[in-house]
Amino acid sequence: MTTVKTKLLNKYGASARKRWMIDILPFNLLVWIVALIYILPVGFMVVTAMMPTEQLGDREAPLYPAKVKSIVYNGISYKLYHVPTEEGVKEWALVDRGMTRSGFIDPQNPEAGLIEWQGDWTQLTWVYEFSPTWDNFKILFNALPFPAMVGNSLLMVLIGEIGVLISSTLVAYGFARFSLPGGNLLFYILIATILLPDKITFIPSYYFFIRVLHWSNTLYPILLPLFFGNAVYIFLLRQNFKSISIELEEAAMLDGAGPLHRLFSVILPQSWPVITTVALLHFFYTWNETRQAAIYLTTSSKLLPVSFAVQNYQSLIRIDNVIQASTIVVLAVPVVILFLTQRFFMQGLIITGMEK
């Protein structure tokens, strides 16, 4: 009996291992390769942001943040070079430069004095050591009022979230549960607005907000449209509301619950994943907002959000490592929030049917 059981385990175990090697392993490798390709630019930004400025112009410098090693000899700092000798390559400090003969100091034994070396010292390469720096971030934070700009962005997020969630939820609930005259046509028209390029509405919107309402240098042109809903969010919420069993609402209706009562007591408690998804999508959009801020807030430095202020700062600073540091500062917050809420985000996408 034991022998038969062992044979079956070996048979099916070998089959499972073979299936894993043929079907699952190549797919996992492909996923990891694609993930690494997407992560490489972010890794490049992080590495560049932590590089010293002098390293950017050094063609022989390594790809990681590093600086040239040096020692202090007789009160003077000397850089270390890779020096080929009969005993192998040594790391010596160049003290006395010559055309064909140069004097070096061994950092391990500086008391021995100068070591004469024959050759062209200009052909030697420096010795580097890993040395990340935070000076680029310090330059950025000293140049810009980050606390105030982050506060502006969070204020826009908070007010925008309230407006877009309330308006989009009410409209989506109406489309999902009420038979309105021409309701389907209105919904199709609403979805069609997603295809409408924003460039078409820029000029009339600007004229209306600035020339008619005189809302220059205020947050009203950015926040007010959010209180009229968003077509994408309405679509996501409607898809989720329609997937909820209507029998639950009918039971609440028999108990005398009105439409708003049913919405808040029956629909919304079952829709937290999609609501979280909508809230996250709007947060990412608002945090990275630069276009409308450039139109309506360019002359009001006190109201600038962090993303636009950093992008404007990048146009004035031509130092690559500082630019990468500012980009990381803007990208860090959305990435952290998405990492902490990815479970709700993915669950919301599945519920709304976007994953299908």
Give the Cα separation of 221 and 292 in Å (integer): 8
Residue 149 burial (CB count, 10 A): 20
Give the Cα separation of 289 and 300 in Å (integer): 16
Does domain 144-352 match CATH 1.10.3720.10? Answer: yes
Closest CA to 56 of 121, 115, 135: 135
What are the domain boundaries of the chain? 2-49, 70-126, 144-352
pLDDT, tens digit, 9 for 90 and up, residues 290-342: 888 888 887 777 888 888 888 777 777 777 777 777 777 777 777 777 777 66
Residue 168: the pLDDT is: 94
214: part of which helix (H) or strand (E)? none
Local structure of 68: helix, strand or coil: strand
The answer to whether 87 touches 81, Cβ cutoff 8 Å, is: no
Residue 172: the pLDDT is: 92
Q: How far apart are the first and last CA of the chain?
A: 47
pLDDT, tens digit, 9 for 90 and up, residues 234-289: 998 998 898 888 888 888 888 788 888 888 888 888 888 888 889 888 998 888 88
Residue 74: the pLDDT is: 86
Residue 20: the pLDDT is: 59
Residue 297: the pLDDT is: 83
Residue 356: the pLDDT is: 39
Q: Is the pLDDT of residue 62 over 60?
A: yes
Least confident of 216-220, 251-255, 345-349: 345-349
pLDDT, tens digit, 9 for 90 and up, residues 189-215: 988 888 888 788 888 888 999 889 888
